[in-house]
Amino acid sequence: MITAEDLRKSYRQNGVETHALQGVTFSVARGERVAITGPSGSGKSTLLALLGALDRPSAGVLRVGDMELSSLNPAQRARYRFEAVGFVFQEFHLLGHLTVLENVLSPFLGRRLERARHQDRAMELIQAVGLVEAAARPAGVLSGGEKQRVAIARALVNDPEIVLCDEPTGNLDTRSGSAVMDLIESLAEADKEKILIVVTHDPSVAARFPRRVQMLDGQVVSS
């Protein structure tokens, strides 16, 4: 369960304060599939960054299970991201000189035992995303749709409880975007306990989800 209560996030730059989130309150149950929608600047990506512990709220409460994210120290936040969260971004963030397999295993860089333990799962996910024949190819030579499929496999390699996707089809054409969403949904559906949250401005992507949270000016206006 994810619970946000009166969540706020403000930034100050060049003497100007921006209120990205203004009292967001909502919850997501285990196994839910949620689309977060709204125009640019509505706070969607800011909220996702807080859910993934990539940033900290300025005020309010954000809990995942019994864990209060804002109370975690940097090491605990890193451990939470590593163990509990899988990220898929609009920008693929692959290492182009590494192979597809190496990119899928990249969350375990510096963790040799973890990397070895997850080798088989990485190959299973590469097969699931349809890239077995490309497993030994550098990621830099892949198409945009293929790169996003690698990113999805990477997000799932540690079997996270929460999968967060920020505009996962934003850099793809309509056909590739639809295929990527099919893949995200099918892989998430394989584990009905996972929470899947997708930020999108695309109505066709949002329409795929049983629950849609709409944001405007840093607030949830419908959920």
Helix axes 174-189, 119-128, angle to 10 degrees: 130
Q: What is the pLDDT of residue 184?
A: 85
Q: Within a 10 A sphere around the Cβ of 158, how many other Cβ atoms?
A: 18
Q: Within a 10 A sphere around the Cβ of 56, how many other Cβ atoms?
A: 14
Residue with tokens 């609009």: 90
Enumerate the β-bridge partners of residue 67. 64
The amino acid occupying position 82 is F
Q: Please, what are the domains in the chain? A: 2-93+159-222 (3.40.50.300)
Half-sphere exposure at residue 20, Cβ-oriented, CA atoms within 13 angstroms: 20
Cβ–Cβ < 8 Å for 155, 163: yes
State the DSSP H helix or E strand holding residue 159, giving kind and residue range, or none if neither: none
| pLDDT tens sequence for the chain (223 residues) | 899 999 999 988 887 888 999 999 999 999 999 999 999 889 999 999 999 999 999 999 999 999 999 899 999 999 999 999 999 988 889 999 999 999 999 988 877 767 778 889 999 999 989 999 999 999 999 999 999 999 999 999 988 999 999 999 888 888 888 888 888 888 777 778 899 999 998 899 999 999 999 999 999 998 8
How far is 177 from 223, CA to CA, in rounded Å?
Answer: 25
How far is 167 from 161, CA to CA, in rounded Å?
Answer: 20
Enumerate the β-bridge partners of residue 193. none
Cβ–Cβ < 8 Å for 150, 142: yes
Q: What is the pLDDT of residue 136?
A: 96
